[in-house]
């Protein structure tokens, strides 16, 4: 049976092989597991075991080593901030540490049952504890410190250590709230006081009451998680040690884990998820209101939400479900978000709610320079026959933009893939083929199969002149395929962050309801499994997995010293190589000279040097996680930090504006007034783009072959 399952997953067109697999391949399991009809969890575990051991791209041996990894992963998932479990609890559960592989194979929930019983008891203890601690004023004159990084803390040994942790933790929370109140970036919410002020006791009481309200809501939301949610957490401890993208989806997916404010919903256009007591931005939807506004970034933590000119509401500790209800609203209305940036600074961002602007997700172009000799194309995402009303294809759109630019007199081209998270493999192949005459563009391997090269189907090129590719740490998947192919062929210079995201894997979804077979229909719903089944490789034989695409010219970036990308995730698939495909490397003209000249310019550029300085400063700040709980010391530290941050505001905006122009007057005249305004706003942002400016200088240095 396993060979049949594997064969179907290896077929070239998985979207057709998958239904076949679900209907016929695993349906046979219904006969084998008929005895499990009355135990949904046991059935899911058996299904998961067979899928992970036989279909996953890189199956692991189910042995003691894997069991130990699953145990550690689960404990961290259950209590990552070390707020509930005692070290003695973990020791008690450790009797199962080498048995979890067997439990998945047999469908036993003994470990899960015991762990949940312990966790729920500790949860109730914590609920009583925070209420008691927040009922009395804090003493901010002591010289205590609180370690904010849970990875640097150990699980408390006993009740005394747990009490000490919660006392410091809540004191830190209240102190942070007092500082935010005193130094609020929202003038309407700012108040002048200090520890010796007459009104300090009242402000401290309000801060504790607010913290009590937030924790009550947070604990109430956690209590809403039913057994199926916790079971999903447990099962994902198995999937998580295979790779970061293999994941079990329980039948009831809670909105607080990840909620998307996009599609037909009117809102800001961001994916959010719960990270402890914070709601964090996971992705920005291309073409959405916040994408066009430009200030909200992945990794931002939401602190407050205000409706228009109304007073902001504190949302720290709220469930993501409730945060979403406050962020959403009618098209055209304003929402003001107070967010904490990666550097620790707070910023109020005003966003006018809107539906996702589909047009903004399409390829668009401009001319750069007074001589209008440099063409520029921005591709925010890959799309193929996705929008039913327009049937747009990104490869065809990029081709048409190149033709427009050529007709307008373009001499060289900048192709911008920054922040492009990828999409269609076929689109990536077709786009790379616009710049290369013929040959393989990417190699794909399925476990147990020979590596297969995918070729450009059309001979000839649309553009064979000077070309650079702009990338950053958000350039991923299909975008990395394009950048890697053009770099391997010697067709383009890659310019940007030191490397791209580094995702070189393919996933597909397995419907467990259908996989369980008709004899287990009474146990539905069972959920689904997203499974990694393939890996991408470069035509040179290398991989984008973990490695990403390394830029030929590295531009300083504010977050360059902060871990990011696939290589920072737990249990990513390894880096390996395959044999190079059969392709002809082009003979670049003066690439080496161009790269050397750019590196010299960057080293002498004061704006880039300031970005390097900021990156180093930010890296050092990330290490300072042990925070004083002394009122005076805390305020002095935070004020000093704010002052330093202020010197780096708008650091990636250049003081020297580029000349950005319409491709031609006819292009502009074809648009309605709203689109013209949108394009001119886009041109304005491009004119201050320090990275685009260096890209323009680089591409102008390239000599035509």
What is the 3-class SS of 383-412, one letter each residue? CECCCCCCCCEHHHHHHHHHHHHHHCCCCE
Q: How far apart are CA 97 and CA 127, in angstroms?
A: 29
pLDDT reported for residue 44: 94
Neighbours of 457 (CB within 10 A): 11
pLDDT reported for residue 189: 58
β-pair partners for 275: 278
pLDDT reported for residue 257: 33
CATH superfamily placement of domain 259-352 = PDZ domain (2.30.42.10)
Neighbours of 221 (CB within 10 A): 18
pLDDT reported for residue 356: 62
Q: How far apart are CA 559 and CA 611, in angstroms?
A: 9
pLDDT reported for residue 358: 60
Tokens representing residue 598 in the block:
């750019």
Helix (H, G, I), strand (E, B) or coil at 556: coil
**CB of 499 within 8 A of CB of 548?**
yes
- The CATH T-level fold of domain 362-504+543-701 is 2-enoyl-CoA Hydratase; Chain A, domain 1 (3.90.226)
pLDDT tens digits, residue range 261-297? 333 345 677 878 777 667 888 778 766 788 778 888 8
β-pair partners for 536: 444
pLDDT reported for residue 280: 86
**Distant-in-sequence, close-in-space partners of 152: CB < 8 Å, separation ≥ 6:** 625, 626
Q: How far apart are CA 300 and CA 346, in angstroms?
A: 10
Residue ranges per structural domain of the chain: 259-352, 362-504+543-701
pLDDT reported for residue 522: 85
**Distant-in-sequence, close-in-space partners of 500: CB < 8 Å, separation ≥ 6:** 471, 472, 473, 475, 476, 479, 480, 483, 544, 548, 549, 565
Low-confidence ranges of the chain (pLDDT < 70): 1-38, 184-191, 252-267, 276-277, 286-287, 317, 319, 355-360, 385-391
Q: Which residues of 591-624 are buried (b: 16+ CB within 10 A; e: fewer)?
A: beebbeebeeebeebebbebbbebbebbeeeeee
Strand 626-628 relative to strand 145-147, pairing = antiparallel
pLDDT reported for residue 491: 96
pLDDT reported for residue 251: 80
Q: How far apart are CA 643 and CA 648, in angstroms?
A: 9
pLDDT reported for residue 29: 36
**Distant-in-sequence, close-in-space partners of 379: CB < 8 Å, separation ≥ 6:** 363, 394, 398, 415, 416, 417, 420, 431
559 conformational bin, left if phi > 0, alpha if psi -120 to 50, beta if neither: alpha
Domain pair 259-352 / 362-504+543-701, same fold? no
pLDDT reported for residue 266: 52
Helix (H, G, I), strand (E, B) or coil at 453: strand
């Amino acid at each position: 049976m396993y060979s049949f399952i594997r064969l179907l997953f290896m077929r070239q067109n998985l979207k057709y092989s998958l239904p076949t697999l679900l209907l016929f391949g695993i349906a046979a399991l219904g006969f084998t597991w008929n005895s499990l009809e009355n135990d949904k969890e046991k059935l899911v575990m058996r299904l998961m075991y067979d899928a992970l051991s036989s279909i996953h791209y890189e199956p692991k041996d189910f042995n003691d080593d894997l069991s130990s990894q699953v145990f550690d992963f689960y404990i961290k998932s259950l209590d990552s901030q070390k707020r509930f479990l005692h070290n003695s609890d973990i020791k008690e559960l450790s009797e199962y540490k080498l048995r979890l592989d067997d439990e998945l194979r047999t469908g036993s929930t003994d470990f899960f049952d015991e762990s949940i019983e312990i966790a729920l008891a500790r949860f109730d203890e914590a609920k009583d504890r925070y209420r008691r601690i927040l009922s009395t004023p804090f003493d901010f004159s002591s010289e205590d410190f609180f370690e904010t990084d849970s990875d640097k803390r150990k699980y408390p040994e006993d009740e005394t250590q747990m009490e000490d942790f919660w006392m410091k933790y809540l004191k830190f929370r209240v102190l942070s709230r007092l500082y935010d109140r005193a130094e609020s970036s929202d003038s309407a919410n700012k108040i002048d006081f200090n520890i010796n002020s007459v009104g300090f006791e009242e402000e401290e009481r309000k801060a504790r009451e607010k913290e009590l309200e937030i924790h009550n809501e947070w604990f109430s939301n956690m209590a809403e998680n039913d057994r199926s949610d916790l079971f999903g957490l447990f099962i994902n401890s198995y999937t998580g040690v295979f790779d970061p993208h293999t994941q079990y989806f329980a039948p009831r997916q809670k909105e607080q884990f990840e909620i998307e404010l996009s599609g037909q919903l009117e809102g800001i256009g961001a994916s959010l998820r719960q990270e402890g007591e914070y709601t964090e931005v996971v992705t920005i939807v291309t073409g959405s209101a916040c994408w066009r506004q430009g200030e909200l970034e992945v990794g931002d933590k939401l602190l407050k939400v205000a409706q228009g000119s109304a007073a902001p509401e504190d949302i720290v500790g709220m469930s993501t479900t409730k945060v979403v209800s406050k962020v959403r609203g009618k098209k055209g209305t304003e929402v003001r978000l107070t967010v904490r940036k990666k550097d620790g600074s707070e910023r109020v961002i005003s966003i006018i709610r809107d539906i996702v602007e589909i047009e903004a997700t399409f390829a668009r172009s401009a001319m750069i320079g007074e001589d209008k000799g440099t063409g520029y194309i921005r591709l925010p995402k890959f799309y193929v026959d996705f929008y039913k009303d327009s049937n747009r294809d990104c490869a065809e759109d990029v081709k048409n933009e190149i033709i427009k630019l050529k007709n307008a007199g373009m001499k060289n081209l900048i192709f911008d893939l920054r922040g492009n998270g990828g999409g269609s493999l076929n689109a990536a192949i077709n786009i790379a083929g616009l710049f290369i005459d013929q040959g393989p563009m990417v190699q794909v391997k399925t476990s147990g199969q020979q590596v297969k090269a995918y070729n450009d189907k059309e001979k000839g090129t649309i553009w064979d002149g000077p070309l650079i590719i702009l990338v950053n740490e958000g350039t991923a998947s299909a975008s990395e395929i394009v950048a890697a192919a053009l770099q391997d062929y010697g067709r383009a210079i890659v310019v940007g962050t030191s490397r791209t995201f580094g995702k070189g894997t393919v996933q597909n979804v397995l419907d467990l309801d259908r996989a369980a077979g008709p004899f287990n229909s009474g146990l539905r719903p069972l959920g689904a499994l997203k499974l990694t089944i393939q890996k991408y490789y470069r035509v040179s034989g290398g991989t984008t997995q973990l490695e990403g695409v390394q830029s030929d010219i590295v531009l300083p970036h504010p977050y360059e010293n902060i871990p990011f990308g696939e290589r920072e995730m737990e249990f990513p698939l390894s880096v390996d190589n395959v044999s190079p495909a059969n392709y002809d490397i082009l003979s670049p003209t003066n690439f080496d000279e161009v790269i050397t000249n750019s590196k010299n310019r960057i080293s002498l550029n004061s704006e880039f040097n300031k970005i390097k300085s900021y990156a180093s400063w930010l890296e050092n700040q990330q290490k300072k996680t042990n925070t004083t709980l002394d009122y005076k010391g805390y305020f002095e530290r935070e004020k000093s930090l704010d002052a330093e941050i202020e010197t780096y505001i708008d650091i990636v905006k250049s003081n020297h504006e580029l000349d950005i122009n319409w491709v031609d007057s006819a292009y502009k005249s074809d648009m309605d007034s709203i689109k013209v305004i949108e394009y001119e706003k886009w041109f304005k942002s491009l004119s201050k783009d320090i990275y685009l400016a260096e890209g323009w200088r680089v591409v102008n240095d390239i000599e035509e072959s």
